[in-house]
Amino acid sequence: MISFVGRALFVSVFLLSAWQEFNDFGDNGGRAAKSLRPKFNAFVSHVTTHTGQQLPPIDMKLLVAAAIALKGIGGLLFVSGSSLGAYLLLLHQAVATPILYDFYNYDVARKEFSQLFSKFTQSVALVGALLFFIGMKNSRRHGRQLRKKAPKAKAN
């Protein structure tokens, strides 16, 4: 019971965010798509500059819809204790964190740097919690397999 409550409280961050973005989505992706566009353009510019690879054009409406789906489906699966839910939330965090919290675009002395860096580190902490959950699920599953293979002694 305590584990369920912990998972529900943890995932509320993702589910409430997905619900809010879903309600605001509209025809153009809502405020999320509008605020994501400049950050995504800066991210694409960084990728192109550092790798020489041009990323294909991506519709912000589809990107926001994918984020809503990952957070919503991943959150519901995570509450039920599914590792797949944790992997979906991990995928969302891995893609969204460097784009949304682009502290690297600001000078250290600027206020935006500290605000974005703080949110970035909080997001990294969520990634750590998801990795911990996945690790615990895998260690319990592995432990059960080892115990099943142990032969039982026969009494004569």
* Whole-number pLDDT of residue 135: 93
Query: Do the Cβ atoms of 73 and 85 come closer than 8 Å?
Result: yes
* Whole-number pLDDT of residue 156: 62
* Whole-number pLDDT of residue 26: 87
* Whole-number pLDDT of residue 145: 59
> What is the mean pLDDT for each group of 10 consecutive residues in the chain (156 residues)?
90 94 90 90 89 89 94 95 95 93 88 92 94 89 60 67
CA distance 35 to 23: 16
* Whole-number pLDDT of residue 144: 60
